Chain A
Amino acid sequence: MPSKHNSKGKEIGRREFLLKTAATCGLAAAAGTWGYVFYSKEPVLRSDVKIYTFKDYRTEEKKTYPQLAVVHGHDVEKMVRAAIEKIGGMSRFVSPGEKVLLKPNVAWDRQPEQAANTNPAVVAAVVKLCLEARASEVWVTDVSVNDPYRCFNRSGIEEAVKKAGGKLRLTTENDFVPTDLKGESLKVWPVSRFYHQADKLINLPVVKHHSLSKCTMGMKNLYGSLGGQRNRLHQDINTSIADLASAIRPTLTVLDATRVLKRNGPTGGNLSDVSIEDTVVAGIDLVAVETYGLRFLDLKAEDIPFIAMAEMRGIGTSDLKALNIADINV
């Protein structure tokens, strides 16, 4: 009995044979090309990633203005305005059309009264000043320790920034780019790309106690530019802070000492640890601002190794007596 599967193929002609041979040769050539192009001694294909470096955000130095402005008062916006006015006004720092990045401390899911984050009124005042100086955009960012949505919302900074006309830029995992900090302990580290997109950087730290570094202010606030496993920085905290301050040179630092967390920092959480100091300090010299802020925590520059390290590296001066400080009340 013949097979059931008995349909027969056609006999192949010359023309068809040539066509088929050509097609098979074509496929074989494609396979060969594929092997030639992709042959590699590496097991994984790696493309070179661009390594960024920080730009210098500072503007030209002018001796005509005091180096530090210290303002005491109760109306935060007025205090910030007066402080910036004293050191030359925002137009000295921000040119029309520039993108300005503000870096407040928004690390914790805490309310403004608990003083674990920068006072929202300080942030809002700086946003307004930047917009008045005709900045094209004012971005406010931080890499929070707690859930960023909660931190920005409950610190009051989200609402204050939106009202003032600024933009929140929350950092997602895709927003970090490798950046060379060229430091002693910090080399290439993931940094929020907003730092590379902005033209100017304004550092808005708050004064707080910290168990390991004793204090956290403007220099340690720069931690918030980093992603990755930054919890390792504690292992050499003084060098790490000095490295950050060397790598990132903000245009301006406005230190919020309206409420100061004196104990149980940097998280706080108890109002009895908060002292009302009603002061704002503004200046370009981060080390000088930092040194001035130490008085709120009853510390001296000699107690803080990273201040000495930063001074050694020529980032600024801790000798407040040599500086022209404008101390005013509003």
Chain B
Amino acid sequence: MMDKLLTLRNIRRIYAVFFMILFVLLLWLTGFKRMKGYETALFLELDPLVSIASFFTSWTIYKGLILSLIVIIGTLFLGRFFCSWICPLGSINQAAGSIFNKLRAVDTVALNSYRPLYRFKYYIVAFLMAIAAFGSLQTGLLDPISLVTRSFTVAVFPGFNHNSGWLYLKQPLFNGGTFLGVIFLAVIFANRFLPRFWCRAVCPLGALLGLLSFKPLLSIRRDVELCTDCKKCLGNCHGGCDPHAALRTGECHLCMNCIEDCPEGALHYGLSKPSSSVHIPLDVSRRRLIESALAGAVIFPVMRSTITSKTSPNSRVIRPPGSLSEGDFLRRCIKCGECMKVCPTNAIQPALLEAGFEGLWTPLLINSIGYCEYNCVLCSRVCPTGAISPLTVEKKLGKAAGQKPIKIGTAFYDRGRCLPWAMNIDCIVCEEVCPTSPKAIWFETVTVPLRDGTRKTLKLPRADPNLCTGCGICENKCPIRDQAAVRITSIGESRSPANQMILKS
């Protein structure tokens, strides 16, 4: 009985389900209420694409990213096990593929055979790594763990909450959330045409792990003397790695289905035997690989010659507190969305093109949605790459002697829209909610003539740029909802030596 249940295939399934649940659980735990020192960014830290690419951009293996060695070393010995045993996106694609395709055996053989299309992912990783070597981290666009974390944070969880109300007190809203949701759906839907299309043809992490498993110690072996060439092993193959012929080790996910499906017992996982078939380690065109890397080398200076927040500070690019200066920030941010998940006020949003193409889906604060909670440093705690460097509340607020609070921007009044300034109506909500002590927003009490000739005493608000931290609660709570009368722009942000206006503070 146990023999039948505890097959290699079922053991792999148990792992895949366990890691899928763990992934959702850790993301669910990423919030003020539930985060009690759990390693919430575990999957991103296990991801070798994150650690290797960010190593290229900044020559460090940052803190938890050292955990990716588990996967790197494991892959050298065992092969590309990550994709079908651990990767949440792999599990989602596998499930989608088996739901969407219910076909005759002859069709699955065609669908699961190796195709030259699968080389494409190696060219993608060559392109991304070439850009990284020059100093721009763009792996996050296609890194499966970043993609699945971002999609869950920005689209899946909010969508689920919209229907159930179980996850958040207040429905989260995200800038371009539909766009990210559609991309995620497209990745899942691609399985309808070719099972695990993403994993086999696009995934740069899969390609990187494929490269690492060019000659693993252990692998799937086919005994040529027992094999009858029935091709039943292709029926449920995850990777499309041709176990019926010369196995392509870089494509094999170690799903173990071929071993279970072989009626002759000709396949086993382990060391080679004298009768074992040969393997094909890696099937890519060197010419194409160099081309792709060259494309990266060409695109890098182009990206750096466009208007970005680094070359020309953008008023709307307000980064979370603790963010590195823009250049270093872009060297570290993998667009994973952990900070967006943890932000208690929903202020942290995925950028579209505000910070340049390089900054696509990087975090910025949109104060009409939320504001930076004065005593909160959670985004800096969950960032797996240190793009937002870890803060304590004391450090953020500049409580220690000789320290200044971290500024993420500065408040400016739009006196033409402000109720007391423009319309002689009492308000100063901005002053009420200003969290600093003494308050950065102060007021002057003046008596002004009204249209009918009477006079009225009013409090006119002003912002003190030296006390303002740019938290944005004034903008968020301003009654002029569509475009607040007090707004934060990024000028004066502590992280930038260039984006400054005041000579002496």
* A residues adjacent to B (C-beta < 8 A): 109-110, 145-150, 153-154, 170, 172-174, 210-212, 229, 231-232, 234-237, 264, 266-270, 273
Contact = CB atoms under 8 A, between A and B. Distances in A.
Interface in B475-499: 477-479, 481
A221 to B, nearest CB: 14
A269 B345 contact: no
Interface string B425-436: 111110111111
B478 A150 contact: no
Interface of B is mostly: loop
Contacts of A147: 32, 344-345, 373, 376
B444 to A, nearest CB: 12
10 contacts: A109-B374, A172-B169, A211-B428, A235-B426, A236-B426, A267-B433, A267-B439, A268-B437, A269-B374, A270-B438
A111 to B, nearest CB: 9
B169 A109 contact: no
Contacts of A232: 479
Contacts of A212: 426, 428, 431-432, 459
Contacts of A268: 437
Nearest to B461: A211
Contacts of A210: 432
A211 B345 contact: no
Interface string B399-433: 00000000000000000000100000111110111
A76 B408 CA distance: 40
Contacts of B478: 231
A154 B479 CA distance: 27
Nearest to A229: B479
Contact of B425 (A109, A235, A270): A235
A211 B374 contact: no
A173 B435 contact: no
Given A235-B419, A236-B426, A149 B344 contact: yes
Task: Give the residue among A173, A235, A237 with the most B Cβ atoms within 10 A.
Answer: A235
A241 to B, nearest CB: 13
A267 B429 contact: no
Task: Give the residue among B32, B427, B432, B481 with the most A Cβ atoms within 10 A.
Answer: B432
Which 5 residue pairs across A and B have the least CB separation, nearest first?
A269-B437, A270-B437, A147-B344, A231-B429, A231-B479
A172 B165 contact: yes
Contact of B426 (A237, A264, A269): A237
A261 to B, nearest CB: 10
A269 B478 CA distance: 21
A264 B419 CA distance: 22
B370 to A, nearest CB: 9
Contact of A269 (B33, B432, B436, B481): B436
Nearest to A114: B437
Given A234-B432, A268-B437, A269-B435, 19 more contacts: A146-B373, A147-B32, A147-B373, A149-B169, A172-B165, A172-B170, A174-B165, A211-B431, A229-B481, A231-B479, A234-B426, A234-B479, A235-B426, A235-B427, A235-B479, A267-B432, A267-B434, A267-B439, A269-B374
A150 B32 contact: yes
Nearest to B477: A231
A236 to B, nearest CB: 7
A109 B376 contact: yes
B179 interface: no
B275 interface: no
Given A150-B373, A172-B165, A235-B425, A267 B435 contact: yes
Nearest to B429: A231
B392 interface: no
B160 interface: no
Contacts of A273: 437
A23 B296 CA distance: 65
B170 A173 contact: yes
Contacts of B33: 149, 153
A291 B316 CA distance: 46
Nearest to B423: A235
Contacts of B344: 147, 149-150
Task: Give the residue among B33, B169, B171, B443 with the most A Cβ atoms within 10 A.
Answer: B169
Contacts of B376: 109, 147, 150
Contacts of B437: 264, 267-270, 273
A146 B433 CA distance: 9
A266 B432 contact: yes
A145 B477 contact: yes
A167 to B, nearest CB: 16
Contact of B375 (A109, A145, A170, A173): A109
Contact of B433 (A145, A235, A237): A145
A231 B430 CA distance: 9
Interface string B366-378: 0000000111100
Task: Give the residue among A110, A173, A211 with the most B Cβ atoms within 10 A.
Answer: A211
A326 B344 CA distance: 45
Contacts of B459: 211-212
Task: Give the residue among B31, B433, B459, B477 with the most A Cβ atoms within 10 A.
Answer: B433
Nearest to B433: A145
Given A211-B431, A266-B432, A148 B169 contact: yes
Interface in B432-475: 432-439, 443, 459
A299 to B, nearest CB: 16
